[in-house]
Amino acid sequence: MAVQQFKALQVEEVEDKKYQSRVVQRSIEDLPKGDVLIQVQYSSINFKDALSASGNKRVTQQFPHTPGIDAAGLVISSDDPSFSEGDSVIVTGYDLGMNTAGGFGQFIRVPAAWVIKCPAGLSIRDSMIFGTAGFTAALCLEKLQVNGVMPESGPILVTGATGGVGIIAVALLSKLGYEVIASTGKKSAEELLKKLGAIAIIDRNEINEPTPRPLLKEQWAGAVDVVGGDTLFSVLKSIKYGGSVACCGLVQSPMFEASVFPFILRGVNLLGVDSVELPLEVKRATWEKLAGDWGLDTLDSFATEISLDDVSGCLSLVLAGKATGRYLVNLEK
């Protein structure tokens, strides 16, 4: 292979508990050992990337580091016969971008057990507009359906509806015939959310208002919650009898106070959703759905394409809760 140097975003600790991101030149030889060398064409920004870039030691222990929990591109070489040079592939989750150099670099080298071939019908570019956020939204929808929450069950609430998971959850639920209510604090995004299929928009403060009451009026057949904290407890109090909440985020807080009343008086289900350590065959099946019947023709309406040089600023926006939709990182731009 002719290319030995490539560009990558590198996060460094510049002084005690202060971190700085900059684009640097790296060598292929510096990449960790692995079965598959991939030239990354696209990545995307997720909340976990913003945490890693800010020096959060629960995400990344060692610095300097290249974040990016998503990557899609072409196989350059593989020690595993499952992959050939030129294959279009996707890598999300596992340790990518956490303690293994991630998708904010033009090359990655990873174990074959982390890699899936890009399904037919899904471009490398579109796979990264979905990215971990869209993949997680799809997992949430699968969990709700397995637990009996169907379009005829009633309205579905999506919290944090302008974030990566939330905005794709709105679009996916709407495509599949659900009545979607979007919760957000961004007035400017209301028109976009309605175009994606939300039938109503509610201010996040309506849900986040703390109350000592153990139960609230039954409103939602189900919910996708990316916020956590008091918002999650409030949502649980408002779920209809036998309904479910798919929980996948902690934007507000990883902790929440709760009572058993929604669970023992209304039979509510709190469903945990993980997108990181799933077996590869499960990931592959979900990606096949996103390439098929669950595909979205609205992806570009909520995606902003950026270059590697733009990533640092966008990570700051995501961490501050000021981002809307998805940032698609073009590593060739």
Q: What is the DSSP string of 267-323?
A: --EEEE---SS--HHHHHHHHHHHHTTT--S-GGGGEEEE-GGGHHHHHHHHHTT--
Give bridge partners of residue 82 from the DSSP assignment. Answer: none
Mean pLDDT, residues 81-95 taken together:
97
Is residue 97 within 8 Å of 68, Cβ to Cβ? yes
Q: What is the mean predicted confidence (pLDDT) over 103-129?
A: 98
The strand pair at 70-78 and 5-15 is best described as unpaired
pLDDT band at 33 (very low <50, low <70, confident <90, very high): very high
Dump pLDDT digits (tens) for 304-331: 999 999 999 999 999 998 999 999 999 9
Query: What pLDDT is attached to residue 258?
Result: 87
Phi, psi of 162 (to 5 degrees): -100, -5
Q: Are 29 and 101 in contact (CB under 8 A)?
A: no
pLDDT, residue 17, reads 80
Give the per-residue pLDDT at 6: 97
Compute the average pLDDT of residues 97-126.
97
Residues 101, 49: contact at Cβ < 8 Å? no
* Structural domains present in the chain: 5-118+298-330 (3.90.180.10), 133-272 (3.40.50.720)
pLDDT of res. 209: 72
Cβ contact 117:88 at 8 Å: yes
Confidence of residue 211 (pLDDT cuts 50, 70, 90): confident
Under 8 Å CB-to-CB from 142, ≥6 apart: which residues? Answer: 286
Over the stretch 58-82, which tens digit does the pLDDT of each residue have? 999 999 999 999 999 999 999 999 9
Average pLDDT of the chain is 95
Residue 4's pLDDT band (cuts 50, 70, 90): confident
Per-residue pLDDT at 286: 98
**Residue 118, helix vs strand vs coil:** coil
Predicted local confidence at residue 2, as pLDDT: 62
How many Å apart are CA 105 and CA 91, to the nearest integer? 13
Give the closest residue to 80 by CA, choosing from 110, 102, 120: 110
The percentage of residues in the chain with a pLDDT greater than 70, rounded to a whole number, is: 99
pLDDT higher than 80, residue 281? yes
Strand 180-184 and strand 200-203: the pairing is: parallel
Residue 213, token pair as written in the block? 């009451």
Residue spans of alpha helices (H) in 81-228 = 124-146, 164-175, 190-195, 204-208
The predicted model gives 178-182 an average pLDDT of: 98
**Gap between the terminal Cα atoms of the chain:** 21
- The predicted-structure confidence for 141-155, as pLDDT tens digits, reads as follows 999 999 999 999 999
> What burial letters (b/e) apply to 220-255, b meaning 16+ CB within 10 Å?
bbbbbbbbbbbbbbbbbbbbbeebbbbbbbbbbeee
Is residue 29's pLDDT more than 90?
Answer: yes
With cut-offs at 50, 70 and 90, classify the pLDDT of residue 3: low
Give the pLDDT confidence score for residue 97 in this predicted structure.
97
Radius of gyration of the chain (CA): 20
Token couple for 222: 């189900």
CB atoms within 10 A of CB 293: 9
**Which distant-in-sequence residues (6+ apart) come within 8 Å of 129 by Cβ?**
44, 299, 300, 303, 326, 328
For position 137, what pLDDT does the model report?
98
Give the model's confidence band at 16: pLDDT under 50 very low, under 70 low, under 90 confident, else very high: confident
Mean pLDDT of 30-39: 96
